[in-house]
Chains A and B, each alone.
Chain A
Amino acid sequence: MLTEQMPKIEVRPEFQSSPASEAKEKVFELKGIDVSYSGVPAVKGISMEIGRNEVTAMIGPSGCGKSTLLRCLNRMNDLIPTAEVEGELLYRGEDLYGPNVDPVQVRKLIGMVFQKPNPFPKSIYDNVAFGPRILGRKDGLDETVEKALRGAALWEEAKDRLGDNAFGLSGGQQQRLCIARCIAVEPDVILMDEPCSALDPISTGKIEDLMIELKEQFSIVIVTHNMQQAARVSDRTAFLMTELDATENTRWGRLVEYDVTEQVFTNPSDKRTEDYVSGKVG
């Protein structure tokens, strides 16, 4: 469904709720993923599975490759000419880096929200309608915009000022607008790269509530420096940390532990995870 040859895009099969005890369906499968920039490794040997309709958090110290890994999941690294991704990355069983896969299509299905809110210098309405318009949608735009703004818990605050410039919104509102813009194209997965690091606690709380609501429809992968945020919102947590080569000149990220969040924060199986989550190392 990622290839250009396929005329009709299955955006997202209908969500079916399943009891928490059941094994979740996989949305991503990473098998031995290595990423390097200009031949310098950034992450090495990452193998993990990311569940559908779950929030998966990636934590770890600065430079451990969390964002690099996140960017692999929707081929954002393609935009960096020196970036190279090796290994196998399956999205719903299909090779995300296969020769016939259209990266634009990938980014439509797998949206991204960034650290700093980045609305376009347009009205609130036009920000949300941007993606659907690009995709050629003309009918039902009003409904789409309203649905996306409601989905991002921004409708009540924005419904009377849809024509206002998005820059007039507060930081937290702008970030929710970016989430609305992301979900307006009905993606399957939302990637979030430290989405709350520029927000105050109230706005952070709203975004966190939103994540828990959004995972009913979408699969979410979040990179965060805030460990309590990972503990609060995620179902599973991946802990990455940097590893040095013998000369200590080159460093890269490694997946140390990946488990159910409760386990990671109450009884981690790896000493390095324990030291990191309890703040013994920086």
Chain B
Amino acid sequence: MPDGVRVHYREELERLEESALGGLDMVSIALGRTMEAVEHQDVELAQVVIADDDRIDGRYLEVHQSLITLLATQSPVATDLRLISALLHVLKSIERMGDQCVNVCKVIPLSGSEAPVDPEMVKLILTMGEFTRPLISQSKRAFEERDVEMARDLVRRDDAVDELNRECFRLALQIGDEVDQREWAMTMLLAARAIERVADNAVDIGEQVAFVVTGLFREFEDASHPS
């Protein structure tokens, strides 16, 4: 229990942080299932991920509303204000990550039930998923521990995911001239792109960590100004 005055307010803020960051665990599970669905072309599992996204959206709405109530009733300032502002951003990122998993799951039926046209491309996408899940947990830990260095390290790990995405693109270009093959490759590119965005959202959460700690918002990396 927090010491000092305004104990209930502090407890509520702690609870909301825990609840918001808990959304990242939900996203991590959704991404794990999404990858499994991609690997096995499992349309039923993909449907489960799509249905479960309502839970992530529900978490977003619930915590968002409670944070607005805290803003309206408790007049938070200083670190508390920055924390609430950051949590509102983090919630949005979590909601987007959930949507990206849904985007991948929606294209799984489009990839058909035949064996993959290019198993190498599927393998790359699965590797992107393997790389992205630790990014999600690292963004959560960096936020919980207010560790800016750990948050900054997300950029390095995201670069690896970006590189895999580019590799997918290169493979898609070489896929062949058949319409079916090209359609499959386009579908897989959409999936790769969605996972790449999940990793970007983890970096966005890292930027919010830096904002909570330093009071300054700076993008770690900007698409228009790459480091």
Contact = CB atoms under 8 A, between A and B. Distances in A.
Contacts of B76: 278
Contact of B6 (A227, A268, A274, A280): A280
Contacts of B75: 228
A281 B78 contact: no
A278 B79 contact: yes
Interface residues of B, number: 14
Nearest to A282: B5
Nearest to B211: A267
Contacts of A274: 78-79
A265 B78 contact: yes
Contacts of A281: 4-5
Nearest to A269: B215
Interface in B1-55: 4-6, 9-10
B5 A227 contact: no
Interface in B52-110: 75-82
A267 B78 CA distance: 5
A266 B78 contact: yes
Contacts of B4: 275, 280-281
Contacts of A228: 75
Chain A interface mostly helix, strand, loop or mixed? helix
A279 interface: yes
Nearest to A277: B77
A280 B2 CA distance: 9
A279 B215 contact: no
A231 interface: yes
B180 to A, nearest CB: 57
Q: Which of B10, B77, B81 has the most CB of A within 10 A?
A: B77
Q: Which of A228, A277, A279 has the most CB of B within 10 A?
A: A279
A279 B79 CA distance: 11
Nearest to B85: A266
A278 B5 contact: no
A277 B81 CA distance: 11
B77 A266 contact: yes
Contacts of B9: 279
Given A228-B75, A278-B76, A266 B81 contact: yes
Nearest to A267: B215
Nearest to B9: A279
A108 B82 CA distance: 43
A158 to B, nearest CB: 33
Interface string B111-125: 000000000000000
Given A227-B77, A231-B77, A266-B215, A279 B82 contact: no
B81 A279 contact: no
A5 B80 CA distance: 55
Contact of A267 (B5, B6, B10, B82): B82
A272 to B, nearest CB: 12
Nearest to A279: B6
Nearest to A263: B215
Interface in B168-217: 215
A226 to B, nearest CB: 10
26 contacts: A228-B75, A265-B77, A265-B78, A266-B78, A266-B81, A266-B82, A266-B215, A267-B78, A267-B82, A267-B215, A268-B78, A274-B78, A275-B4, A277-B78, A278-B76, A278-B77, A278-B78, A278-B80, A279-B6, A279-B9, A280-B4, A280-B5, A280-B10, A281-B4, A281-B5, A282-B5
